Structure 1
Amino acid sequence: MTSIAIPPGMPQYDDVPRFDVAQVRADFPILSREINGHPLVYLDSANTSHKPRQVLDVLDEHYARHNANVSRSVHTLGTEATEAYEGARAKVAAFINAPSPDEVVFTKNSTEAINIVAYAFSNASLRPDADPRFRLGPGDEVVISEMEHHSNIVPWQLLCERTGATLRWFPVTDQGRLDESGLDDLVTERTKIVSLVHVSNILGTVNATSRITARVREVGALLLLDCSQSVPHLPMDVVDLDADYIVFTGHKMLAPTGIGVLWGRAELLAAMPPVFGGGSMIETVTMARSTFAAPPARFEAGTPPIAEAVALGAAVDYLNGIGMRAIQWHEKELTAYALDALGTVPDLRIFGPTVPVGRGGTISFALGDVHPHDVGQVLDSLGVQVRVGHHCAKPVCSRFGVPAMTRASFYLYTTTEEIDSLVTGLEQVRKVFD
């Protein structure tokens, strides 16, 4: 493994599993690229991750030898495609310790997964015979947080507009943590669902949800967690997490774009009305009315992202081969190293937790008065790839009084040398704009 100098006070454990980062990097063809004459330094994995050969080969193999539609044919190719697709569902279920593969709904991404839940509430609100847990109207409330990605804000705003319900939210502290001081006043008997980010895509904050979960259970509401930035990086156990729904997306965990996951408790999925209508989600259809299939098929109308799901299964295999606990600790040590290294850059302000406790490997910052787009362009000229902008989290930027931030984010293939390249690049930015 790449040697990491752990800052003073950061605990070191002999029993932490390790892996060879150089060997891992050899699996990712894109990491051998040069950008503007410099070795590629990719620090934008919170945006999208790269894909190892093992995933790319499965994607190619599926299209080359097993391409067919699923759950429709009895011929050989159709059977092979269906077995691979449902096999991927089983792999994902085991990866998050879901009690049943039938609790795993394949979606396009986390955004679509959240919208499915929000529109199920909307559709149920129009039906007097619907499960009352999903019916919303004036006087009911939906609770989110100021820390959310837009995909966990806008669907709930639209839902509240459609139903007359009220949207409320947890504020964020100066340290970039959820402010739970008003928990009992915010989550009440009027609350129907609480939808929160598990790990912030902009602040890196890992939200400990136990107090919120206990309050949600106390008032009889439902809990959804956006795990887009946690499932790729942390061991995940939905039973232990005790949420009602989680969502995550494949392209942030070594899989292709176009595939995501909605996990929901079986009895909740069974009680939810469908959102999309069409092929494969039906039980029977007459000209007068239709009845619907059991989950997960009920929420997978039309031809699904078959090859992408199969490749997601391959990505799960790859991550399991390395070990999620090993990945978690690799990133924890990288984050400690990066926080220490970035602390040496004059005029650099880190947003979010400044200690490697309760935070993931995503660090957003401002460099003096230099606009993040200028920071990003200079870094790109040196081969260093970071993300700049509002990161689909404009309320967070507003909370900290900036129009945009620069963000560096890490994954299992990130090295300390790449962090050193970032720090060197930021010193170059300062020289350019001094």
Structure 2
Amino acid sequence: MTAPVATLIPFDVEAIRAEFPILGETVHGKPLAFLDTAASAQKPRTVIEAEKDLYEHYYANIHRGVYKFSQDATEAYENSRVAIARFINAAKPLECLFVRGATEGINLVAQTWGRANIKAGDEILLTEMEHHSNIVPWQILAEEKGAVVKAVPINDDGSLDMDAYRAMLGSGRVKLVGAAHISNSIGTQNPVKEMIRLAHDAGAVALIDGCQAAPHLKIDVQDLDADFYAFSAHKMYGPTGTGVIYGKERLLDAMPPWQGGGDMIKTVTFAKTTWNDLPYKFEAGTPNIAGGIAFKAAVDFIERIGHDAIHAHEADLLEYATRQLGSLNSVRLIGTAPEKGALVSFVMDMAHPHDIGTILDRQGIAVRAGHHCAQPVMDRFGIPGTVRASFGIYTTRDEIDRLVAGLNKVMDIFG
């Protein structure tokens, strides 16, 4: 993450924290310090109320009913799509497909665009820092098609080896590049705009996993020129079970449906079925209506605070945490790339990450311990896993101080 950006937007972290009911909870008699936002962010009251309001006042299935509740729910759901399209600067709302989350979105692309375009001998180029959700779907496709999955290596500081990336694109066989905008395991922020440009120059399509970027950065899919961009609401202070896969209209138009069922059709006979228009061609069945509607509340919440203010706050937290943890002799940071998202990943040779996480939990501190669904990263650094502390809009320096105090307790126990 770059240096904090000057902003005119007032940022009152205590006022923001007051909007999150769960942050008033205690764990083992200690105030909760929630440092696992990269796994799933907590929810502000406006998001919680958006779901509750639907179920209490106007719930009905969408796109099907002529009665008022159905029309009201449909309008709210589609307004959410419009807000999300604006949030990422998609050219049209129809380029934003609702899915259960980024995992389903990536699988959708693999099983539709991939099945139609990947052939035997083609290469699918990923990075060594990908989440399993951006590895396994491509492996399944490659095995079916006789294609090859390759991974761009990462440097010792966790940054991507761009020279290797350029060289691997030069094979002439790469049909798709899949890359995380920000690594969930070590925080590296990849130069995705340049990566996409190079992929296009090589004749490849680019899919970006934006799960860790969408809550923290201003996303502009048109400026990036991304072909596909996946993200999940629950990482963005929104509900679980809903997300979006963005795709360029011309690509989505050419792709076959992935799932069959209600709402994704125009006509059905036993002789032939015809498909609905975008985006509905890819949205079979009753969706997560409440989640989709509450997704807009999460987008509105982020936009109300402002990307500049969020960036400045999280950049300060990252710098502070890196400095404080770096002062502990027993802590070794994993992932120190110059451009990083708001998380620190580390090991302590004296203790397994799960033991560290357990001791921290007794102090009321929630962190993630393990391989973070990124086993190839751990293999690259020769470790079984890391402890990851990840920050959000509600994180404070005091919580980082508590983390440091907890790690000192780990040293007392295992040292």
SS at match of 1:246: strand
Residue 298 (structure 1) aligned to one of 267, 270, 281: 281
2:181/2:213 contact within 8 Å kept: yes
Which residue does the alignment assign to 1:208? 191
Partner Cα distance (1:298, 1:87) in 2:
18
Rounded to whole Å, the distance in 1 between the matches of 2:135 and 2:3 is: 37
Structure 2 residue aligned with 1:240, among 208, 223, 228? 223
Residue 260 (structure 2) aligns with: 277
> How many Å apart are 1:13 and its aligned residue?
5.7
How far apart are the structure 2 equivalents of 1:34 and 1:156? Answer: 42
The superposition leaves residues 341-372 of structure 1 with CA deviations (integer Å, 9 ceiling, x where unpaired) of: 11111211101116xx4101111100122000
In the alignment, which of 401, 405, 418 is matched to residue 399 of structure 2? Answer: 418
Q: How does 1:157-236 map to 2 (within 5 A)?
A: 157-188=139-170, 189-236=172-219
Q: Which moved more, 1:364-373 or 1:186-195?
A: 186-195
Deviates more, 1:276-285 or 1:151-160: 276-285
- The equivalent of 1:130 in structure 2 is none
Query: C-alpha deviations, 1:278-329, integer Å up to 9, x for none?
Result: 1100121110221111221011000011100000001111111101221111
Pair 1:260 & 2:252 matched: no
Q: TM-score scaled to structure 1, two decimals?
A: 0.93
Counterpart residue number, 2:374: 393
- Name the stretch that deviates more: 52-61 or 205-214: 205-214
Structure 2-normalised TM-score? 0.97
Instruction: Render the CA deviation track for 1:65-85: whole Å, top value 9, x for unaligned.
Output: 111011001100110010000
Distance across 2 between alignment mates of 1:361 and 1:352: 12
Q: Helix, strand or coil for the counterpart of 2:162?
A: coil
- The alignment status of 1:38 with 2:30, answered yes or no, reads yes
1:144 aligned partner, one-letter code: L
Residue 149 of structure 1 aligns to which amino acid in structure 2?
H
Q: Which deviations, in whole Å up to 9, do the C-alpha atoms of 1:4-23 show, x marking residues without a partner?
A: xxxxxx95665464410000
Moved over 6 A (4+): none
2:256 and 2:113 map into 1 onto residues whose CA distance is 8
Alignment of 1:283-362 (within 5 A): 283-353=266-336, 357-362=338-343
Instruction: Give distance in 1, aligned partners of 2:126 and 2:106.
Output: 12
Which letter maps to 2:317?
L
Stretch deviating more after TM superposition (267-276 or 114-123): 114-123
Q: Does residue 154 of the first structure (1) align with residue 136 of the second (2)?
A: yes
1:4 alignment counterpart = none
**Where does structure 2 lack aligned partners over 5 or more consecutive residues?**
none
Amino acid paired to 1:68: A
Amino acid at match of 1:364: S
Q: 1:103 — aligned with what?
A: 95
Deviations, residues 120-160 of structure 1 (Å, cap 9, x unaligned): 03542xxxxxxxxxx22112111101100000000000000
Question: SS in structure 1 opposite 2:160?
Answer: coil
- Whichever residue aligns with residue 46 of structure 1, its letter is A
Name the CA shift for 1:12/1:203 in 2 (closer, same or farther; >3 Å).
closer
2:7–2:308 contact (8 Å) kept in structure 1 = no
- Using the aligned pairs only, state the percent identity: 45
User: Which residue in the other structure is 2:81 paired with?
Assistant: 89
The one-letter amino acid paired with 2:342 is: G
Given the superposition, is the C-alpha separation of residues 14 and 328 from structure 1 closer, same or farther in structure 2, using an over 3 Å criterion? Answer: closer
CA distance in 1, matches of 2:241, 2:344: 26
CA distance in 1 between counterparts of 2:136 and 2:231 reads 17
Q: Is the partner of 1:195 in helix, strand or coil?
A: strand
How many Å separate the matches in 2 of 1:123 and 1:210? 26
The residue type equivalent to 1:78 in the other structure is S
Query: More deviation in 247-256 or 281-290?
Result: 281-290
RMSD over equivalenced CA pairs, Å: 1.3
Q: 1:335 to 1:22 in 2, by over 3 A?
A: same
Q: What is the deviation of 1:166?
A: 1.0
The CA deviation string for residues 365-408 of structure 1, in whole angstroms up to 9 with x for no partner, is: 00122000110010000001100011000000010000111000
- Contact 1:122/1:162, CA 8 A, preserved across alignment: no
Give the Cα separation in 1 of the matches to 2:3 and 2:98. Answer: 39
